[in-house]
Amino acid sequence: MANSVKTMVKVLQEVGPMTENEITKTAFGYDRNASYGSNKKYADMLRRGMKKGIIDRIEPAINSRAKFLYFATKEIQVPCSAELDMQMANESENIQ
């Protein structure tokens, strides 16, 4: 699976709340503590997920090195209903 916000959300849904480093290790195999590479790409992905409202964070109650625990807030869904389907069908019939 490609590196994406959706991958992060899937891991958070399956595993539960995690630190930033735990997410990148689990989802992409990237350990920022054992790498000299930049963490910017993964940090930006996390921020995009938070901006979209599909990832959120809390400060852990326990004293730890990690400042935040991240979690998936909801599933990404496209709203659909029978009423909406009928409206679209009626609009299609009226087009001549």
Q: How many residues does the chain have?
A: 96
Write the DSSP string, 20-84.
Answer: HHHHHHHHH---GGG--S--HHHHHHHHHHHHHTSEEEE--SS--S-S-EEEE-S-------HHH
Residues 2-14 pLDDT 10s: 678 999 999 999 9
- pTM (2 d.p.): 0.69
Residue ranges per domain, the chain?
A: 5-94
Q: Specify the pLDDT at position 45.
A: 92
Q: From the options 2.40.50.150, 1.10.10.10, 3.30.930.10, 3.40.50.10320, give the CATH code of 5-94.
A: 1.10.10.10
Q: Specify the pLDDT at position 12.
A: 94
Residues 39-82 pLDDT 10s: 888 899 999 999 999 999 998 877 777 789 999 997 555 555 66
Residue type, 64: S
Which of the pair, 49 or 90, is modelled with greater confidence? Answer: 49
Residues 74-87 pLDDT 10s: 755 555 566 666 66
Q: Specify the pLDDT at position 84.
A: 61
